[in-house]
Amino acid sequence: MSLEGQVESNRIPPIKDRVLAAARRQLDRFAALESKVLRGDNPNAIHDIRVASRRLQQMLDLIYPATPPQKIRKLRRAIRRCRRILSAVRNYDVLLARAERSLSRRRTSRRQAWQAFRDYLEEQRERSFRKASRRLGKLDLPGIYVRLRENFGSLGGTEIRFGPASVSGPTRHGDSNAALHDTIANQLRETWASLVGAVRKAQEDRDAPALHAVRIAAKKTRYLIEVIHILESPRSNQALSCLRRLQRQLGDWHDLEILEETMLEMVANSGILQEQLELAMDVEKLVLQNRKRKKAYEKKFFEMAESSGEWDRLGNWVQAYLTNDSSHPLRSVAGGHSAAFPPSTT
């Protein structure tokens, strides 16, 4: 390495320090959102704390070993529980926004059905939030914050140099930064294989459970690549853009899936089937319209997975990260790039 390259590399913090710094930021964000969430009137805060919990959970999985200390496992479970507690509230927020958009149009068909659905959602959302807020109080998020902050403070990094990710062989336990580098590569290998397998199964089965599995696998892959992007790996921004588009297709499909389930639940449980038969029939007609839209999203997803060059480039980027020097975090500063994606023009 030239003297200039050595000077440049010495300015770069070790990857463990960078991941730890990012984990602290996510932990701070996670804790700061609690008060906004508990006010109950901020859908964005509920969405943001769930995203922060996923990112924080991903970083914990990288920072700590495969079998972390019991106290870390307990804290990780609490973070995941927070996200799951708010899942139903988040679904109601998404559906309420869709209902409001439909009602804001001048020529909305079956307006009465949409109004009844909105009223039902507001009632269910209020009930779900009251339950969620009680359960969040029992989790003690401030205590989680303090304990994780203390644990992060006890972890330190040592400046080291390392090569590209190893595709096989044991983790280098004696070198914390190299071990973390290997952990990232191993997790990427596993999450990508899981995503590819889920996509293949969805192509075979063409049903809701298979599509849901793709959605979950894509989320896990995206949050891991977000960490890789923090380490400035070449073209990781294009890889993330591809995954976001995939998630957007499946996210819109999932919203319609939840919409249908909730509409049918309203018809079955609210009494309108017995008391307002015509309204119930209008709601069921909305369900039928919704199924056509779901099919359109499914078609777009399969087109992306089966004939999109972008999907192939994403796979090539993953393989390049695992096998080539483009995965080396010090190379990214010098502007090296992977053949998987063209150089960014922005």
Residues 77-123 have pLDDT tens digits of 999 999 999 999 999 999 999 999 999 987 877 889 999 999 999 99
**Which range has the worst mean pLDDT, 50-54, 67-71, 145-149?**
67-71
pLDDT at 263 over 90: yes
Average pLDDT over the chain, rounded to an integer: 84
**What is the pLDDT averaged over residues 66-81?**
90
Question: What percent helix, strand, coil does the chain show, rounded to 5?
Answer: 80, 0, 20
Residue 50: which of 208, 242, 223, 214 has the closest Cα? 223
Residue 243: which of 218, 226, 220, 224 has the closest Cα? 218
The tokens of 20 are what? 């730890």
Check residue 39 and give left, alpha or beta (phi > 0: left; psi -120 to 50: alpha): alpha
Q: What is the pLDDT of residues 160-193, one digit of tens each?
A: 332 333 334 444 444 667 788 889 999 999 999 9
- Concatenated DSSP letters of 148-164: HHHHHHT---------S
Q: How confident is the model at residue 156 (pLDDT cuts 50, 70, 90)?
A: low
CA atoms within 13 A on the CB side of 291: 9
Rg over CA atoms, the chain: 23
**Which range has the worst mean pLDDT, 52-56, 116-120, 168-172, 202-206?**
168-172
Q: Are 116 and 76 in contact (CB under 8 A)?
A: no
Q: How confident is the model at residue 324 (pLDDT cuts 50, 70, 90)?
A: low
Q: Are 127 and 80 in contact (CB under 8 A)?
A: no
pLDDT at 5: 45
The C-alpha atoms of residue 243 and residue 232 are separated, in whole angstroms, by 17
**What is the pLDDT averaged over residues 1-13?**
47
Torsion of Cα atoms, 59 then 61 then 63 then 65, to 10°:
180
pLDDT at 155: 74
Domains and CATH numbers, the chain: 13-152 (1.40.20.10), 175-326 (1.40.20.10)
CB 138: neighbour CB atoms within 10 A? Answer: 9
Which helix H or strand E contains 87, and what residues bound it?
helix 87-104
Which residues neighbour 165 within 8 Å (Cβ) at sequence distance 6 or greater? 181, 182, 184, 185, 321, 322, 327
* pTM, two decimal places: 0.83
Sign of CA dihedral 279, 285, 287, 289: negative
Helices H / strands E in the chain, number of each: 15, 0
Q: State how far the alpha carbon of 267 is from the alpha carbons of 21, 82, 270, 273, 338, in Å.
A: 49, 30, 6, 6, 53
- Concatenated DSSP letters of 98-131: HHHHHHHSTT-TTHHHHHHHHHHHHHHHHHHHHH
pLDDT at 332 over 80: no
Q: How confident is the model at residue 292 (pLDDT cuts 50, 70, 90)?
A: very high
pLDDT at 276: 85
pLDDT at 1: 45
Q: How confident is the model at residue 56 (pLDDT cuts 50, 70, 90)?
A: very high
pLDDT at 166: 37
More confident residue, 287 or 64: 287
